[in-house]
Amino acid sequence: MRVVLRLLSPLLGLLVAAVGVLTALEVIVAWVAPSSSPLVVPWPTWQAALAGLTWSSAAVRGVAIGVGVVGLLVLLVGLVARRHDVTLTEPVPEVTVTTSPRSLARAVGHEVRSHSDVVSASVVASPKKVVVRAGTLDTPEEVRTAVRERVDEALGRLPLARRPRVSVTVAATKGVK
């Protein structure tokens, strides 16, 4: 979702800048030569069409509803795209300490991969959950217990304000030991 915001923000900024430049040019042309035709935008035609509208007109209400819906969608995209940091315990009340989910996954992944029976591992972390998928050449159930203990130890060493749920999946991989 953050990618959408990173694309949407410059596009909206360019659109607002273009409208501003176009408005400035139209105003300058209207001041310099009031009797000439508009530069790009047909303002006199629009003014005549809008003169008959009131605040209670269906078109005005429809545009207002449309603008409101688009505004709510942009607000929702912004709220969903916020960064979901993992909160750590505060060393002092005035200091807030956070880390990224990627760093938490990297720390847990390093611990999982250091186990001698694990041949491959992937870790995905969020503030609420850590998901570990590991591959082994041995019996998956035995390795799963050992990996789960290592993940619990790694999370225990970290100063996490809230301990995430842990999900460990170990599958047998093909290969020669």
User: DSSP letters along the chain, please?
Assistant: -HHHHHHHHHHHHHHHHHHHHHHHHHHHHHHH-TTSPPSSS-HHHHHHHHHT--TTSHHHHHHHHHHHHHHHHHHHHHHHTS--PEEE--SSTT--EEE-HHHHHHHHHHHHHTSTTEEEEEEEE-SSEEEEEEEESS-HHHHHHHHHHHHHHHHHHS-BSSPPEEEEEEEE--S--
Q: What's the mean pLDDT when you consider all of the chain? A: 90
Q: Of 6-20, 83-97, 131-145, where does mean pLDDT reach its minimum?
A: 83-97
Q: Give me the mean pLDDT over the 73-94 stretch.
A: 85
Give the residue-averaged pLDDT of 62-79. Answer: 92
Over residues 59-65, the mean pLDDT reads 95
Asked whether residue 142 carries a pLDDT value surpassing 80, the answer given is yes
pLDDT at 177 over 80: no
Is the pLDDT at 20 greater than 90, yes or no? yes
Instruction: State mean pLDDT over 135-162.
Output: 91
pTM: 0.58
For residues 42-64, average pLDDT: 91
Average pLDDT over residues 45-64: 91
CATH of domain 97-172: 3.30.300.20
Which pLDDT band, with edges at 50, 70 and 90, does 175 fall under? low
Return the pLDDT at 74.
Answer: 86
Could you read off the pLDDT of 115-138 as tens digits, one per residue?
888 999 999 999 999 999 999 988
What pairing do the DSSP bridges indicate for beta strands 86-88 and 118-125?
A: unpaired
CATH 3.30.300.20 positions along the chain are: 97-172
CB-count exposure of residue 126 (10 Å: 0-12, 13-18, 19+): middle
CB 163 within 8 A of CB 151: no
> What percent of the chain has pLDDT above 70?
97
